[in-house]
Amino acid sequence: MPRYVASRVIMALITTLGVATIVFVAMRLVPGGFAGALLGPNAVQNPEVVAAIEEKYGLDKPVIVQYGLWLRNAVQGDLGESLRTRSSVTSEIVRRSLVTVELTLLATLMSLLLGVPAGVVAALRRNSVADTVTRSVSLIGLSIPDFVLGTVLIYFVSTRGIGLPISGYVSITEDLSGHFRSMVLPTLTLGLVTTSVVMRVIRSSVVEVLGEAYVVTARAKGLHPRVVALRHVVRAGLIPTVTIVGINMGYLLGGAVIVEELFSLPGLGRYALTGILNRDYPVAQGAVIVGALMFVLANLAADVAYAYLDPRIKY
Amino acid sequence: MAVSDGVSARGASAATTAEETVRDTSPTRGTIPGGDSGGATLATADLRERRHTSTLRRFVRASPLGTVSALFLLAGIAIALLGPFLGTGDPEALSPLAMFSSPSADLPMGGDYLGRSVLARLVSGLRVSLALAAVSALMAATAGTFLGLVAGYFGGTLDELVMRLTDVLFAFPTILLGLLMAVVLEPGVRGVVLTIIIATIPVFARVARGPTLAVRATEYTTAARVVGASPARILFRYVLPNVSTPLLVQLAFTLSGALIAEGALSFLGLGVQPPRPSLGSLLRDGKTYMEIAPWTMLFPGLTLALAILAVNLLGDELQSFTDPRLRRR
């Protein structure tokens, strides 16, 4: 077990390094060059500022040295400063990540609360009405992209006079109920697809477990069907939930860009998007790296949790 | 699992892949019923033709839902291709009088903020979106399959290298990849195509690699090698036909992922740029005016959702049709 965890951690580190490398290469390809990207068109006219940035990143040295310096700065938490506001990208990211993390957690919560029971019921009563409904709902849910759903939700809420905020963010310290009301539509928009994924995966996983020999044995020895279902089937059938939550994180972090933009939430995704549209390269670079990192970490956590839950995994 | 990360296409797709990798240990997975080993010598063009028809017929009989989705998609493709000849009008023609006009006999889907026909723009946007999604999905599928075949067949360092690379690429959710592309390139079509390709290649590399490992170990592959067949011949003649089924299913999910990716990036303003229409950029335009002219946003949104639903349904049905273990369920 410790060996397995160690190997997963090493893999995650390698992946992270790969992510950083890709972003590093991408930033070198930015029109106007790396110094221009970090300084902006105005500051790049000033030779002293340019000298300072060349010193910091060793821009006259071989690329591999530049890579090392860039990486060192990033690892130390120095992601540069915004070209627009001159504020530290790192501190902005820390602040905004909280909004994004909360949004993804709420969407995950929604997908588990709705998706797991629906998937289990559908699997235990295969081909019943409940099963058909669950499968149709999840297929339709998978097919409505978040940006379409969000736009339509905003339209209905604003034209039907439903009392939910369609835009803006209320801080949790400021107004607790107002905060959660402002998160309702974003959570619904972001959570629909993951809820559908959870329904499908849980259903097929429980169906698979139903065919296992030990379930047949439990039934054959005369256990009450409910006991078999709860103790033998559902417990084992729920294990993939962990993996699916990890995989869904990738979708959720990407979807957060759209949902935050749509509902004007000050999260990481919107930060990245504004950074790109304003050609604020340090902002864009930092937000993309941190977003990818969050995904790597979520998957690492899911892998480790899976290994704890499924005793068959031994490395 | 291409369903939504493709954008999210990937969420769904990703789940599928995960499930598949879990199950992929079975060596029989993905083999075509009847196998290819003996058939190769016997199959004249005529026989192959007949076998092909009967598979299509069996699919139609086994899956009415899949057939309907396929027909629906074909109709969509036909509308997109024939767009200019359908008499829906010029997507760029401005008519100030029709500004925000509600749907009528003249303008079946109403007019947008410049008085352009929403229907004409929808037809034209459908063509752009479908073409972008299909072309990038196909290119990525070809490249990814090739990588997976080669990595799985030769193994060793090459295999290790390719798999680590796919790990890294999987660490970028599609939208995030799209953001990165928009940083390096100008926001636009090139970025969308590259995003879809880079997000899809690792998926196909993995899907192709698994069954390749199994097929590599079969006796007929060994026999071919002993007889002196070149690796290229073995890969394309023996391995590829045997791994093509899961790849076909994956292609369907990838297509829906690509549609979502294009839509999402154009919706964010990083993809197809106005005045060029695509389903995503139409929705972006429509969102701004949704309170005055909801039809400018509802029709593109509905079209996109229906197209994705049809592709997902077709993928699902193909999967249960080709995987005998799913058929029982």
Whether residue B238 lies within 8 A of chain A, CB to CB, comes out as no
The predicted structure's pLDDT at residue B324: 63
d(CA B302, CA A150): 13
**In this structure, is the dihedral angle defined by the CA atoms of residues A80, A83, A89 and A91, taken in order, positive or negative?**
positive
CB burial of residue A301 (10 Å; 0-12, 13-18, 19+): middle
| Contact present, B50 and B58 (Cβ < 8 Å) | no
| Contact present, A168 and A147 (Cβ < 8 Å) | no
Inter-chain touch B14–A193, beta carbons under 8 Å:
no
Give average pLDDT by consecutive 10-residue segment, chain B, 329 residues.
36 39 38 40 50 74 86 89 76 74 75 79 90 93 92 89 85 86 86 93 91 86 87 86 85 91 92 87 87 85 92 87 62
Q: How confident is the model at residue A169 (pLDDT cuts 50, 70, 90)?
A: confident
Inter-chain touch B187–A272, beta carbons under 8 Å:
no
The predicted structure's pLDDT at residue A246: 84
CA B37 remoteness from chain centre: 30
| Residues whose CB falls within 8 Å of the CB of residue A22, separated by 6 or more in sequence, listed in order | B168, B172, B180
Collapse the DSSP code of B5 into the 3-class scheme (helix H, G, I; strand E, B; otherwise coil) and give the result.
strand
| Contact present, B144 and B204 (Cβ < 8 Å) | yes
Token pair belonging to B40: 């190769």
- Give the model confidence (pLDDT) of A148-159 as tens digits: 999 999 998 888
- Residues of chain B contacting residue A148, judged by C-beta atoms under 8 Å apart: 263, 283, 301, 304-305
Q: Could you report how far apart the first and last alpha carbons of chain A are, in Å?
A: 7
Nearest to B137 by CA among B94, B200, B210, B191: B200
Kindly report the nearest CA distance between residue B264 and chain A, in angstroms: 7
Whether residue B260 lies within 8 A of chain A, CB to CB, comes out as yes
In which residue are the tokens 């994004």 written? A100
DSSP B55-77: HHHHHHHH-HHHHHHHHHHHHHH
Q: How confident is the model at residue A118 (pLDDT cuts 50, 70, 90)?
A: very high
Q: Which of A15, A29, A140 sits opposite B171 (nearest CB)?
A: A15
Inter-chain touch A255–B260, beta carbons under 8 Å:
no
Q: Which of A11, A158, A251 sits opposite B8 (nearest CB)?
A: A251
Domain boundaries in chain A?
A: 89-309
| Contact present, B262 and B193 (Cβ < 8 Å) | no
Collapse the DSSP code of A278 into the 3-class scheme (helix H, G, I; strand E, B; otherwise coil) and give the result.
coil
Q: What are phi and psi of B71, to 5 degrees?
A: -65, -40
Q: Which of B179, B290, B329 sits opposite A273 (nearest CB)?
A: B179
- Residues of chain A contacting residue B175, judged by C-beta atoms under 8 Å apart: 253-255, 257-258, 269
Collapse the DSSP code of B111 into the 3-class scheme (helix H, G, I; strand E, B; otherwise coil) and give the result.
strand
Kindly report the nearest CA distance between residue B221 and chain A, in angstroms: 31
Inter-chain touch B308–A14, beta carbons under 8 Å:
no
Identity (one letter) of the amino acid at A84? R
Q: How many CB atoms lie within 10 A of CB A95?
A: 14
Inter-chain touch B171–A197, beta carbons under 8 Å:
no
Share of chain A above pLDDT 90, in %: 29
Kindly report the nearest CA distance between residue A207 and chain B, in angstroms: 8
Contact map slice: B 15-34 vs A, CB within 8 A: 15, 18-19, 22
A vs B: CB pairs below 8 A: 193
CATH code given to domain B1-20+120-329? 1.10.3720.10
Q: What are phi and psi of A311, to 5 degrees?
A: -65, -15
Whether residue B196 lies within 8 A of chain A, CB to CB, comes out as no
d(CA A83, CA A38): 7
Q: How confident is the model at residue A308 (pLDDT cuts 50, 70, 90)?
A: confident
The predicted structure's pLDDT at residue B49: 54
Q: Which of A26, A207, A255 sits opposite B180 (nearest CB)?
A: A26
Interface pTM (ipTM) of the complex? Answer: 0.85
| Contact present, A255 and A58 (Cβ < 8 Å) | no
Whether residue B5 lies within 8 A of chain A, CB to CB, comes out as yes
Q: Going along chain A, which residue ranges are E strands? A: none
At A288, which helix (H) or strand (E)? helix A281-309
With both helix axes pointing from N to C terminus, report the angle between B45-62 and B295-322 in degrees, rounded to the nearest 10.
120
Q: Which of A200, A204, A295 sits opposite B173 (nearest CB)?
A: A295
Inter-chain touch A251–B167, beta carbons under 8 Å:
no
**Which residue in chain A has the smallest CA separation from B301?**
A148
Collapse the DSSP code of A264 into the 3-class scheme (helix H, G, I; strand E, B; otherwise coil) and give the result.
coil
Q: Which of B14, B174, B263 sits opposite A247 (nearest CB)?
A: B14
| Residues whose CB falls within 8 Å of the CB of residue B222, separated by 6 or more in sequence, listed in order | none
List helix spans (H) across chain B: 7-23, 39-42, 45-62, 64-82, 118-154, 156-170, 174-184, 189-216, 219-227, 231-233, 240-267, 279-288, 295-322, 324-327
How far are the Cα atoms of A50, B14, B34, B232 from residue B213, in angstroms, in the given order? 53, 21, 20, 16
How far are the Cα atoms of A29, A39, A89, A239, B72 from residue A280, in angstroms, in the given order? 15, 9, 11, 43, 43
Nearest to B187 by CA among B94, B251, B281, B286: B281
Q: How many CB atoms lie within 10 A of CB A292?
A: 26
Kindly report the nearest CA distance between residue A224 and chain B, in angstroms: 23
DSSP A76-114: TT---B-TTT--BHHHHHHHHHHHHHHHHHHHHHHHHHH
| Contact present, A276 and A268 (Cβ < 8 Å) | no
- Give the model confidence (pLDDT) of A33-78 as tens digits: 777 777 777 777 788 888 887 777 777 778 888 888 888 888 888 8
Inter-chain touch A151–B290, beta carbons under 8 Å:
yes
DSSP A98-167: HHHHHHHHHHHHHHHHHHHHHHHHHHHTTTSHHHHHHHHHHHHHHHS-HHHHHHHHHHHHHHTT-SS--S
The predicted structure's pLDDT at residue A129: 92
Identity (one letter) of the amino acid at A263? F
- Give the model confidence (pLDDT) of A228-269 as tens digits: 888 888 888 888 888 888 888 888 988 999 999 999 999 999
Inter-chain touch A147–B264, beta carbons under 8 Å:
yes
Kindly report the nearest CA distance between residue A28 and chain B, in angstroms: 9
**Which residue in chain B has the smallest CA separation from A124?**
B329
Q: Which of B4, B164, B306 sits opposite A251 (nearest CB)?
A: B4
d(CA B233, CA B321): 29
The predicted structure's pLDDT at residue B35: 39
Inter-chain touch A143–B256, beta carbons under 8 Å:
yes
Q: Which fold has domain A89-309?
A: MetI-like fold (1.10.3720)
**Which residue in chain A has the smallest CA separation from B309?**
A143
| β-bridge partners, A81 | A88
With both helix axes pointing from N to C terminus, report the angle between A268-277 and B174-184 in degrees, rounded to the nearest 10.
20
| Contact present, B192 and B261 (Cβ < 8 Å) | yes
